[in-house]
């Protein structure tokens, strides 16, 4: 129970060199924070001495806990991971083993070490020295006993808690299981998302040890935030950081949609899988990060993305259904796509075959050509923004940086590895800007590596360097594809393809030669239809796009298409 008039533990803040604040008396020496396998020397980490014979311990392989308490995977929150190997035996779920874990020497060491942690998420480090005395006087105080659940999933909360002493575990109740999602100690704040955004509390929060908590009620929280913009910025970044996690989430109701699981994250938005609650239709829900929602320019850009995609109706571009504004941010509701991004595919396969690469590039160019015809430049074409659905169907994602053709306003430059020189320099961007980015993407598809070293990109040396020849890395690369990549990636826009249609034309001869047959048809069951396309001179690009779209559909139906060279017909007068 909150007891604002109880004696409060002493807390003083000392100012360091701006802008950081640190707890006075903190040991400034770096502490080597061990993971559980390093502490116990069990050898069950990946590539450990005992991993081959006994398997990798879940604490070492559970990547969703990466970064918790400054450790790797679940290495410093092993008590929250089911099936860990400890004490010469396999442990059960965290609910089953937590009593034993609380008495573990490693657990106690982690608590001591985390109490000295000066990581940026420590709330009170961002309260100015002048404001701290006034704020602390207005806070309530609450003592919580070990095992007490002081925040409950789904409840409407009216206070956040700053941990003065002790530690707690956050977990989500989902699918008849308790799933740990976070661990917090001295200086951390919990309950802040519900207070800041106004949505119901996400995970349950339960004390692992006896705890002393400072209580920040909603009114005080809002006063602090309004009076200290830097603190508010920190809090929104903290909220974004906690949302940006592959750990399980409680179902979040967003209007008529329910977000059910994390999909991926980017620099300014987080994407969740969800469902339309009335139609039971799967959707993707793209949430603008709360720290970005504070920036009017980014907020305008996010709205612009929704309007931009809503105006685009093409089979190679992701569809948008709806927009919801809730919880101090904006949600774009889009079609949910099964499959993997080209980025994921490169990581899985190391390289993408020239046959597939040409198919993906051709479909991307068809989608870009349509967007360009609508006066829109994507400005962030990259492997992570090209989705490959089952059947190798491609859709372009993320029009968040899209702009009108001919824009010269310098803004967010996209993903630096793939960004055209004119975009970095703030010069006019047009269709050729997207073609450059697609060319760099193509290079990475077929070689499995980026054309420039990280240090060269970070120092912008690629503004004065041409890409290396991909044919030297992949000797059997088809000449047409090699030439496409080299020309698409010219530093000077005038030396690239002038349009997506022209770039597609350069790939069509190679695309025509690809084999669309997925399985052989027994002799005697094959049939053939002939189709002749008669068109005017100057319609070559449009016909190529038509053939490519027909070929993609035929591929799905396991039909073979053979394309012959065009004949020139002489027109006779009547």
Q: Tell me the C-alpha distance between 245 and 182, whole Å.
A: 10
354, part of any domain: yes
Q: Tell me the C-alpha distance between 384 and 559, whole Å.
A: 30
518, part of any domain: no
User: Three-state SS for 485?
Assistant: helix
Query: Are 315 and 349 contained in the same domain?
Result: no
The residue among 335, 352, 374 that closes a domain is: 335
449, part of any domain: yes
The residue among 512, 545, 567 that closes a domain is: 512
169, part of any domain: yes
- The number of distinct structural domains making up the chain is 4
* Residue 471 pLDDT: 94
% of residues, the chain, pLDDT over 90: 26
Q: Tell me the C-alpha distance between 241 and 361, whole Å.
A: 34
274 token code pair:
């969800």
Residue 495 has pLDDT above 80, yes or no: yes
Least Cα distance to 316 among 366, 382, 390, 357 occurs for: 366
Q: Tell me the C-alpha distance between 482 and 489, whole Å.
A: 11
Residue 26 has pLDDT above 50, yes or no: no
23, part of any domain: no
Query: Are 389 and 500 contained in the same domain?
Result: yes
Q: What is the pLDDT of residues 545-566, one digit of tens each?
A: 676 666 656 655 656 565 555 5
| Banded pLDDT at 496 (limits 50, 70, 90) | very high
* Residue 570 pLDDT: 52
Least Cα distance to 422 among 489, 501, 364, 504 occurs for: 489
* Residue 362 pLDDT: 94
- Cβ neighbours, 10 Å, residue 469: 14
Query: Are 217 and 285 contained in the same domain?
Result: no
DSSP state of 181: E
Our CA angle for 515, 521, 524, nearest 5°, is 130
Annotated catalytic sites, by residue? Answer: 380
Q: Tell me the C-alpha distance between 359 and 549, whole Å.
A: 11
| Banded pLDDT at 508 (limits 50, 70, 90) | confident
CATH number at residue 330: 3.30.200.20
Question: Average pLDDT in the 58-63 region?
Answer: 84
281, part of any domain: yes
The residue among 243, 269, 293 that closes a domain is: 243
214, part of any domain: yes
327, part of any domain: yes
CATH number at residue 443: 1.10.510.10
SS3 string, 408-454, reads: CCCCCCCCHHHCCHHHHCCCCCCHHHHHHHHHHHHHHHHHCCCCCCH
Q: What is the pLDDT of residues 391-409, one digit of tens each?
A: 899 999 987 666 767 665 5
Least Cα distance to 491 among 451, 449, 541 occurs for: 451
Question: Average pLDDT in the 248-276 region?
Answer: 83
Q: Which residues pair with 322 in a beta bridge?
A: 333
Range with the poorest average pLDDT among 36-40, 106-110, 132-136, 143-147: 132-136
Q: Which residues pair with 273 in a beta bridge?
A: 261, 284
Question: Average pLDDT in the 226-243 region?
Answer: 71
User: Under a CB-based contact definition with an 8 Å cutoff, are residues 94 and 180 in contact?
Assistant: yes
Range with the poorest average pLDDT among 117-131, 292-306, 433-447: 117-131
Q: Among 156-165, 380-389, 527-536, which range has the highest average pLDDT?
A: 380-389
Least Cα distance to 179 among 201, 204, 210 occurs for: 204
Q: What is the mean pLDDT of the chain?
A: 78
| Banded pLDDT at 506 (limits 50, 70, 90) | very high
Where is pLDDT greater, at 549 or 281?
281
Query: Are 363 and 495 contained in the same domain?
Result: yes
Query: Are 153 and 72 contained in the same domain?
Result: no
Query: Are 265 and 344 contained in the same domain?
Result: no
| Banded pLDDT at 128 (limits 50, 70, 90) | low
CATH number at residue 150: 2.60.120.10
User: Under a CB-based contact definition with an 8 Å cutoff, are residues 341 and 383 in contact?
Assistant: yes
Biggest CA–CA distance in the chain, Å, is: 105
Long-range (24+ apart) CB contacts under 8 A made by 111-115 are 111/167, 111/185, 111/209, 113/31, 113/33, 114/69, 114/167, 114/185, 114/186, 115/185, 115/186
Query: Are 73 and 185 contained in the same domain?
Result: no
* Residue 137 pLDDT: 72
* Residue 526 pLDDT: 60
Domain that holds residue 394: 340-512
Q: Tell me the C-alpha distance between 47 and 435, whole Å.
A: 42
E strands, 49-167, in order = 85-86, 89-90, 140-144, 149-151, 159-165
* Residue 20 pLDDT: 29
- Whether the model clears a pTM of 0.75, i.e. scores above it, the answer is no
User: Three-state SS for 495?
Assistant: helix
User: Under a CB-based contact definition with an 8 Å cutoff, are residues 356 and 325 in contact?
Assistant: no
* Residue 530 pLDDT: 65
Query: Are 310 and 393 contained in the same domain?
Result: no
Query: Are 258 and 322 contained in the same domain?
Result: yes
Residue 543 has pLDDT above 90, yes or no: no
Query: Are 462 and 402 contained in the same domain?
Result: yes
Query: Are 484 and 388 contained in the same domain?
Result: yes
* Residue 503 pLDDT: 95
Q: Among 2-6, 91-95, 123-127, 523-527, which range has the highest average pLDDT?
A: 91-95
Query: Are 354 and 466 contained in the same domain?
Result: yes
Q: How many residues does the chain have?
A: 574
């Amino acid at each position: 129970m909150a007891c604002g008039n109880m004696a409060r533990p002493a807390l003083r803040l000392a100012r360091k060199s701006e802008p950081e604040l640190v707890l006075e008396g903190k040991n400034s020496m770096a502490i080597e924070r061990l993971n559980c396998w390093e502490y116990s020397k069990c050898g069950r980490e990946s590539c450990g001495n005992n991993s081959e014979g006994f398997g990798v311990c879940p604490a070492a392989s559970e990547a969703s806990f990466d970064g918790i308490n400054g450790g790797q995977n679940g290495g410093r929150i092993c008590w929250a991971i089911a099936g860990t190997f400890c004490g010469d035996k396999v442990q059960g779920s965290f609910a089953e083993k937590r009593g034993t874990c609380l008495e573990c020497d490693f657990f106690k060491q982690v608590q001591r070490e985390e109490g000295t942690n000066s990581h940026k998420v420590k709330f009170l480090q961002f309260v100015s020295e002048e404001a701290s005395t006034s704020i602390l006087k207005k806070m309530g105080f609450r003592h919580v006993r070990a095992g007490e659940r002081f925040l409950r999933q789904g409840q409407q909360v009216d206070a956040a808690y700053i941990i003065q002493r002790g530690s707690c575990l956050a977990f989500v109740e989902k699918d008849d299981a308790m799933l740990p999602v976070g661990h917090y100690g001295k200086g951390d704040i919990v309950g802040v998302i519900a207070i800041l955004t106004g949505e119901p509390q996400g995970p349950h929060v339960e004390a692992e040890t006896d705890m002393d908590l400072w209580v920040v009620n909603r009114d005080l929280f809002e006063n602090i935030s309004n009076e200290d913009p830097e603190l508010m910025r920190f809090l929104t970044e903290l909220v974004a950081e906690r949302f940006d996690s592959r750990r399980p989430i409680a179902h979040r109701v967003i209007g008529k949609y329910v977000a059910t699981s994390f999909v991926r994250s980017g620099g300014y938005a987080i994407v969740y899988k969800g469902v339309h609650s009335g139609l039971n239709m799967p959707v993707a829900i793209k949430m603008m990060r709360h720290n970005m929602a504070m920036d009017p320019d980014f907020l305008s850009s996010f709205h612009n993305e929704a309007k931009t995609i809503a105006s685009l109706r093409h089979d190679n571009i992701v569809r948008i259904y709806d927009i919801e504004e809730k919880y101090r941010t904006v949600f774009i509701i889009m079609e949910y796509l099964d499959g993997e991004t080209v980025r994921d595919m490169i990581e899985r396969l190391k390289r993408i075959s020239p046959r597939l690469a040409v198919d993906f590039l051709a479909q991307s160019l068809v989608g870009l050509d349509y967007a360009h015809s609508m006066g829109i430049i994507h400005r962030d074409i990259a492997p992570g923004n090209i989705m490959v659905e089952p059947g190798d169907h491609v859709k372009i994602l993320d029009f968040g940086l899209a702009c009108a053709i001919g824009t010269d306003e310098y803004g967010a430059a996209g993903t630096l590895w793939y960004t055209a020189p004119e975009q970095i320099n703030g010069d006019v961007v047009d269709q050729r800007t997207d073609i450059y980015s697609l060319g760099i993407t193509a290079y990475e598809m077929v070689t499995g590596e980026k054309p420039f070293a990280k240090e060269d990109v970070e120092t912008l040396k690629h503004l004065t360097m041409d890409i290396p020849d991909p044919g030297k890395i992949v000797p059997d690369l088809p000449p047409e594809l090699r030439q496409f990549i080299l020309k698409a990636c010219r530093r000077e826009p005038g030396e690239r393809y002038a349009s997506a249609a022209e770039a597609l034309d350069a790939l069509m001869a190679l695309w025509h030669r690809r084999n669309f047959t997925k399985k052989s048809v027994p002799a005697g069951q094959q049939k053939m239809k002939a189709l002749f396309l008669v068109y005017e001179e100057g319609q070559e690009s449009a016909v190529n796009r038509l053939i490519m779209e027909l070929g993609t559909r035929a591929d799905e139906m396991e039909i073979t298409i053979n394309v012959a060279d065009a004949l020139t017909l002489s027109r006779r007068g009547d």
